[in-house]
Amino acid sequence: SQQGEEDPQALSIQEGENATMNCSYKTSINNLQWYRQNSGRGLVHLILIRSNEREKHSGRLRVTLDTSKKSSSLLITASRAADTASYFCATDQAGTALIFGKGTTLSVSS
Amino acid sequence: NAGVMQNPRHLVRRRGQEARLRCSPMKGHSHVYWYRQLPEEGLKFMVYLQKENIIDESGMPKERFSAEFPKEGPSILRIQQVVRGDSAAYFCASSPPIGTADNNEQFFGPGTRLTVL
């Protein structure tokens, strides 16, 4: 069954704008991870946030986690055309398989 | 340090043939995971293996699919008598031994895109 659900399904913005993607999940987790996938390519790990963390930063990325609402958000600041990709959240419940959402397709136009 | 390697990158099979997908984990990693991605979908877990052991195969179809991770050599995902519905991208991921990293951060390979004609 699907654990993570990303919102929105698709997002189109201009270069320089911020992009915010949300992820909701259903059960308790050890951590939540965000991945990027360029069209037809593999997944690139962006950031991991543990269940006892509320916010994490990595470069232009900011991730928040609200375990009471079972939700997470990924913010990309000052977006670039190269950020165009699909973004997936994945939850780790038991330290084994990751459960992925369907992803948000981000399109950044110059 | 090479990342996770998968081959072939693209595989075309006719219905009824067998497909063999190979995955070499990152150096030092002893855990391998296989995921399947259908078009416009997220990744779905199939199987989790350690050397010579299947730990969790709850995501594997009951028939025609099998996986192994021998003591030597790559992990193999085998699909017998392929059907059109098997067309998908198959991704392998690896992670280090438990105790060396408690995050279950998984490193993904580039995937094998299987097309069944």
Please name the residues in contact with B15: beta carbons below 8 A apart, sequence gap of 6 or more.
B81, B82, B83, B84, B116, B117
Interstrand relation of B112-116 and B10-13 (parallel, antiparallel or unpaired): parallel
The answer to whether A2 faces chain B, any CB pair under 8 Å, is yes
Q: For the CA atoms of B39, B42, B45, B46, what is the dihedral angle to 10 degrees?
A: 0
What is the per-residue pLDDT for A2?
A: 47
Contact across the interface for B43 and A96, Cβ inside 8 Å: no
pLDDT (mean) for B1-17: 92
Contact across the interface for B98 and A90, Cβ inside 8 Å: no
The answer to whether A47 faces chain B, any CB pair under 8 Å, is no
Identify which of B44, B58, B91 has the shortest CB distance to residue A43: B91
Contact A97, B33 (CB under 8 A): yes
What is the per-residue pLDDT for A1?
A: 43
- Is the per-residue pLDDT at B101 higher than 90? no
What is the per-residue pLDDT for B33?
A: 95
In angstroms, rounded to a whole number, what is the distance separating the alpha carbons of residues A106 and A9?
Answer: 9
Tens of pLDDT, residues B47-95: 999 989 999 999 999 999 999 999 999 999 999 999 999 999 999 999 8
What is the per-residue pLDDT for A4?
A: 67
- Nearest chain A CA: its distance from B65 CA (Å): 18
The answer to whether A54 faces chain B, any CB pair under 8 Å, is no
- Is the per-residue pLDDT at B1 higher than 70? no
In angstroms, rounded to a whole number, what is the distance separating the alpha carbons of residues B21 and B113?
Answer: 10
Tens of pLDDT, residues A11-56: 999 999 999 999 999 988 989 999 999 988 889 999 999 999 999 9
Please name the residues in contact with B10: beta carbons below 8 A apart, sequence gap of 6 or more.
B112, B113, B115
Task: Identify residues of B whose CB sits under 8 angstroms from chain A CBs.
Answer: 33, 35, 40-45, 48, 55-56, 58-59, 91, 93, 98, 103-111, 113
Instruction: Specify which of A29-38, B11-20, B37-46 reaches the highest per-range mean pLDDT.
Output: B11-20
Contact B13, B114 (CB under 8 A): yes
- Nearest chain B CA: its distance from A11 CA (Å): 15
Flag the least confident range among A100-104, B1-5, B108-112. B1-5
Tens of pLDDT, residues A56-86: 999 999 999 999 999 999 999 999 999 999 9
Query: What percent of chain B has pLDDT above 70?
Result: 94
Locate the chain B residue with the closest alpha carbon to A42: B110
What is the per-residue pLDDT for A54?
A: 97
Flag the least confident range among A94-98, A104-108, B82-86. A94-98
Please name the residues in contact with B108: beta carbons below 8 A apart, sequence gap of 6 or more.
A35, A42, A43, A44, A45, B4, B91, B92, B93
- Nearest chain B CA: its distance from A6 CA (Å): 10
Contact across the interface for A99 and B55, Cβ inside 8 Å: no
